[in-house]
C-alpha cells in the first residue's frame, strides 16, 4: 500500500434499509478521516434509504439486488469480482449473512484481511430465524479461518457468541457511538412535534422507535400502555419505525383490541429522530430478546430523555442509573417503570434526562467509537497478509 494514499475499506452489508447496523455504517464512513480512509459499500440486496445518505458524501454504493433470505451462492462470485476490482486493504462485513458471504469471497479473491461485525445477542435458537441461526452456527465454525478480527458492538453479544463457539481470540468490543451534533436536547423541536400531533400541552408522552419485529415486542409495549391507562388517562404513546403505521393490520388490530385507539399514535418510518425523541417525557425499548447495543436508547438519552428499557443485551449498561430497567415480556413491570418516572416532579425527571445526556456524551461519544475503528484498521494494515 502506498503510504501517501488513503487506506481502501470495502464494506459489505446485507441491506441498506433503515436500521441500527446500517446507520452505524453511515456514521462510521462519515466520520473516519477521508485523508486516511477511502470507502466503498456493497449491499447484497437493496440500497435504500441509507445508501443515498452514503452516496451524498461521494462514497461509492452498489446494490447486488438479490432478494433477502437464504444466501444465494451467486453472491460469492459477484463479491469476488468486486473485491478484485476495488482491491481493498481491508474488507469490513456487517452482520451474519455478509460475514459469511464476504468472508468466503475474500478467501477466493486473495489474501484480503476481513473484519466481521456482529450486532446481535443470541439468547437461544428461537432468538433468530432458523435460516439465520444456521448461518450464525456456520460462522462460529468458520471464525477460525475467515476473519482477521471480529467486532461485537456489545459485551453481551461477545459473551453469547463465544459460548456458541466463535473464536474468542479474534473478538473485541466496539460499542455504538452517538453524534452530539445530531442528537441533543431540543425543547423547541419537541414542542413542534406535540403541536403537529395535536397533543394537549400538559399530557405526557411515552414513545418507542423500533421496526415492527417480534424482537422489539410491540405487544409488550401496548399491553403496558393499556395497564398504565387504567391508572391515569393523561398519557399518550408514540410509536415510529418501519412498518409501524396504520397499514400494519396486525398492529392496528392489537391497538383496537386493547382499546388504545385514542392514545396511540403510529408514524411509520421517520428520519427526524431528534425531533421525536425531544417530544417525549419517557422513551422506552420493550425488546424481548436479541438486542446487542440498541442505538435508539442512546439517541433518546442524548436528547435528554430518561428511558425505561427491558434488560436485554447491553440496554441496562447504556441506561445505567438514569432510567429504569425491567425484565422482558413483563408488561405490568414496564407500566410500573413508566408510572414511576411520570410521577416524579418535573424538575427531577428533567434531572434524570440531563444525567442521561451526560452519560451518553461521556461514555459513548461517536468520536471514541470512530477512533477505535481507525486504530483497528491501521493495526491490521501493518500486518503481513
CATH topology agreement for domains 7-177+365-381 and 187-363 = yes
Q: Where are the domains of the chain?
A: 7-177+365-381, 187-363
Q: Which pLDDT tens digit goes with each residue over 23-79?
A: 999 999 999 999 999 999 999 999 889 999 999 999 999 999 998 877 788 999 999
How far apart CA 49 and CA 22 sit, in angstroms, is 10
Distance CA(337)–CA(36), nearest Å, equals 46
What pLDDT does 3 receive?
58
Q: Give the number of other Cβ atoms within 10 Å of residue 333's Cβ.
A: 18
Phi, psi for residue 187 in degrees, rounded to 5: -60, -40
CA distance 211 to 13: 18
CATH superfamily, domain at 187-363 = Glycogen Phosphorylase B; (3.40.50.2000)
Query: Which pLDDT band, with edges at 50, 70 and 90, does 277 fall under?
Result: very high
Note whether 34 and 8 are within 8 A (CB). Answer: no
Q: Per the confidence metrics, is the pTM higher than 0.75?
A: yes
Q: Are 309 and 316 in contact (CB under 8 A)?
A: yes
- Return the CATH class of domain 7-177+365-381: alpha beta
Cell readout for 317 is 449498561
| pLDDT tens-digit map of 208-225 | 999 999 999 999 999 999
Q: Which pairs from 316-324 meet CB under 8 Å and 24+ separation?
A: 317/154, 317/155, 318/293, 318/294, 318/360, 318/364, 319/356, 320/359, 321/355, 322/352, 322/353, 322/355, 322/356, 322/359, 323/352, 323/356
- The string of pLDDT tens digits covering residues 145-160 is 999 999 999 999 999 9
The 10s digit of each residue's pLDDT in 346-381 is 999 999 999 999 999 999 999 999 999 999 999 999
209 φ, ψ (degrees, to nearest 5)? -105, 115
**In the prediction, which pLDDT does 1 show?**
47
- The answer to whether the bond into 285 is cis (omega within 30° of 0) is no
Which tops the pLDDT comparison, 5 or 92?
A: 92
Query: Which pLDDT score, from 0 to 100, does residue 72 have?
Result: 82
Are residues 17 and 242 in contact, defined by beta-carbon separation less than 8 angstroms? yes
Amino acid at each position: 500500500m502506498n503510504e501517501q494514499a488513503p487506506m481502501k475499506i470495502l464494506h459489505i452489508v446485507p441491506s441498506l434499509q433503515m436500521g441500527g447496523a446500517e446507520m452505524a455504517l453511515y456514521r462510521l464512513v462519515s466520520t473516519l478521516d477521508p485523508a486516511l480512509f477511502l470507502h466503498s459499500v456493497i449491499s447484497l440486496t437493496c440500497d435504500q434509504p441509507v445508501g443515498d445518505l452514503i452516496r451524498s458524501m461521494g462514497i461509492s454504493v452498489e446494490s447486488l439486488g438479490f432478494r433477502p433470505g437464504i444466501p444465494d451462492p451467486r453472491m460469492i462470485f459477484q463479491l469476488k469480482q468486486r473485491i478484485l476490482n476495488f482491491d481493498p486493504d481491508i474488507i469490513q462485513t456487517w452482520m451474519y449473512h455478509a460475514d459469511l458471504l464476504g468472508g468466503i469471497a475474500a478467501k477466493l479473491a486473495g489474501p484480503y484481511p476481513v473484519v466481521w461485525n456482529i450486532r446481535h445477542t443470541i439468547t437461544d435458537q428461537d432468538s433468530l430465524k432458523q435460516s439465520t441461526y444456521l448461518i450464525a452456527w456456520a460462522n462460529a465454525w468458520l471464525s477460525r479461518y475467515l476473519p482477521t478480527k471480529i467486532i461485537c458492538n456489545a459485551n453481551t453479544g461477545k459473551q453469547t457468541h463465544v459460548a456458541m463457539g466463535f473464536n474468542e481470540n479474534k473478538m473485541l468490543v466496539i460499542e455504538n457511538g452517538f453524534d452530539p451534533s445530531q442528537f441533543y436536547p431540543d425543547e423547541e423541536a419537541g414542542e413542534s412535534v406535540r403541536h403537529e400531533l395535536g397533543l394537549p400541552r400538559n399530557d405526557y408522552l411515552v414513545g418507542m422507535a423500533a421496526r415492527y419485529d417480534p424482537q422489539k415486542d410491540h405487544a409488550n409495549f401496548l399491553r403496558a400502555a393499556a395497564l398504565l391507562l387504567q391508572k391515569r388517562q393523561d398519557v399518550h404513546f408514540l410509536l415510529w419505525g418501519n412498518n409501524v403505521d396504520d397499514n400494519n393490520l396486525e398492529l392496528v388490530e392489537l391497538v383496537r383490541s386493547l382499546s388504545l385507539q385514542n392514545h396511540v399514535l403510529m408514524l411509520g418510518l421517520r428520519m427526524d429522530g431528534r425531533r421525536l425523541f425531544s417530544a417525549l417525557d419517557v422513551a422506552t425499548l420493550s425488546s424481548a430478546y436479541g438486542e446487542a447495543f440498541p442505538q435508539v436508547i442512546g439517541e433518546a438519552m442524548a436528547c435528554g430523555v430518561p428511558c425505561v428499557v427491558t434488560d436485554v443485551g447491553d440496554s441496562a449498561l447504556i441506561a445505567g442509573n438514569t432510567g429504569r430497567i425491567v425484565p422482558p415480556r413483563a408488561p405490568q413491570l414496564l407500566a410500573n417503570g413508566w408510572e414511576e418516572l411520570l410521577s416524579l416532579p418535573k424538575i427531577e425527571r428533567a434531572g434524570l434526562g440531563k444525567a442521561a445526556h451526560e452519560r451518553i456524551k461521556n461514555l459513548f461519544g461517536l468520536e471514541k467509537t470512530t477512533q477505535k475503528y481507525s486504530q483497528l484498521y491501521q493495526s491490521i494494515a501493518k500486518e503481513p497478509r
